Structure 1
Amino acid sequence: MLYLIMPDRFANGDPANDQIPMRMPYKVDRNDPNARHGGDLKGISDHLDYLSDLGVTAIWLNPVLENDMEGGSYHGYATTD
């Protein structure tokens, strides 16, 4: 079974990487649908057993790219050059 993950929304495994030096500061706020939620690859790897228990055999990630845009770009399609 394929499971689509929007990394920012899935799980914040490493809050230390929520702010990136030399990048636009932003607020991680899981209660604001337009704010970033802090999800990361560590959060995904920490939950592989959970996904396996659901019967997931493959995961599909939205883009995992450097993204320095303001709120509303949590989906990963606002790539920073």
Structure 2
Amino acid sequence: MINVAIIVGMHVVGVAMLLSLWRLLRGPTAPDRILALDTLNISAIAQLIMFGMLLDTEIYFEAALIIAMLGFVGTVVLSKYVIRRDIVE
């Protein structure tokens, strides 16, 4: 029963990823695209965690943690660039 719930959840998160990708490609402004990229990052983390739960292995949780750290840094750098047009002070 739990495997069915995980697979359904993976499909729902997959649809959310497609919608985030659409907003990333079509977003009218740069902040919209940054927000869509961050949402896509969070959805990818959710997919990895659910896939790790489905396969009952820990390696996907570690990969999700690394992607989360890199995604946070990427979002901060992109936001700083949009605000100041300069990354290094």
Using the size of structure 2 for normalisation, the TM-score is 0.33
* Bigger relative CO (Cα 8 Å, ≥ 6 apart): 1
Using the size of structure 1 for normalisation, the TM-score is 0.35
> Which of these two proteins has the greater Rg computed from alpha carbons?
2
Of Structure 1 and Structure 2, which has the larger fraction of its residues in strand?
1
